[in-house]
Chain A
Amino acid sequence: MTATTAIEVKLFAGAQSLADADVLVVKIPHNATAGEVLRRIGMQCQPLQSLLPACRLAVNLRYVEDDFVGPPDASLALIPPVSGG
C-alpha cells in the first residue's frame, strides 16, 4: 500500500465557487507529481472536474509542469484560466 500525505491546495475564483471552499485538503501519495496532484483533486472534489482540465498548478508561486515533484512543505495553488487586465 502506498503511503499518502494530506496537502492543502489554495483555490480561487471559479474553482473556489465550484468547491465552495478557498482551500482544499487532498490526499496524495508521497512524491506525487503535479499531474498526480491535479488528478487527485478531481477525484476528491467532483464539482471541480469540469474546470480542472483548464487549470494549472502553481508550486511556491510558480507554474509547474505535470512531471514536477515539489518539496513536502510546498505551497500549492490551483490556478484556473486567468482574466485580469
Chain B
Amino acid sequence: MSDANDASALVKLVDEPIDIVAISETLSDYESGAHSLFLGTTRRTTQSRQTEYLVYDAYRPMAKSELSRLAGEAFERWSLKRLVIVHRLGRVDLGEASIAIGASAPHRKAVFESIPWLMDQIKSCVPIWKQENWSDGTSEWVHP
C-alpha cells in the first residue's frame, strides 16, 4: 500500500500474460477508498462459432500514444488517484486476459464510471486489432 500523494497513470502494451498482482499493487493507495479492476478475456463462443484463440496486433507507438491520451482524459474527468491500462498483444488463449484496466479513487463512482468509458474509447479509437482464430481452422481480422 502506498501513501504517496501523487496521482499517476501507467499504460503498457505487453507480449506476455498480464500480471494482475502487479496491477493491484500499483493501484494501492491510502487516499483511495475505491479500487476496481476490469479484465477483458478471450471468450469461447461468438454467436454459434467457437474461438480457438485470439491474436492481437497494434500500431504500437500510436496505440501507446492514444492510450496515454485517454488515461489523461480519464484522470482529469474523474479525479482518479491511480490508473493502469495494460493491453496484451500476440496470441491470447481462451480465458486469458487481453486487457486490464484498473482504477483507484477516493470514492466508488469515479472508478465505476471511468472504466466503462475507457473501454468504449479504446474500442473506438486505439489502433489495436483482434484476429479471430476459429476452431474450424479459419481466421479473420475483426473490423467492426
Q: Which residues does A use to contact B, with CB under 8 Å?
A: 10, 12-14, 17, 51, 54, 58, 61-63, 77, 79-85
Contact = CB atoms under 8 A, between A and B. Distances in A.
A79 B59 contact: yes
Interface of B: 40, 56-59, 61-63, 65, 87, 98-99, 119, 122-131, 140-144
Nearest to B120: A85
Nearest to B69: A62
Q: Which 3 A-B pairs have the closest CB atoms?
A: A84-B128, A13-B129, A14-B141
A51 B123 contact: no
A83 B62 contact: no
A63 B125 contact: yes
Given A13-B141, A14-B141, A84 B126 contact: yes
Nearest to A63: B125
Given A82-B123, A82-B126, A14 B59 contact: no
B119 A85 contact: yes
Given A79-B62, A84-B87, A85-B130, 13 more contacts: A12-B57, A12-B127, A13-B131, A13-B143, A54-B143, A61-B62, A61-B65, A63-B125, A79-B59, A83-B123, A83-B128, A83-B144, A85-B123
A83 B58 contact: no
Nearest to B141: A14
Nearest to A81: B143
B74 to A, nearest CB: 15
Contacts of A54: 143
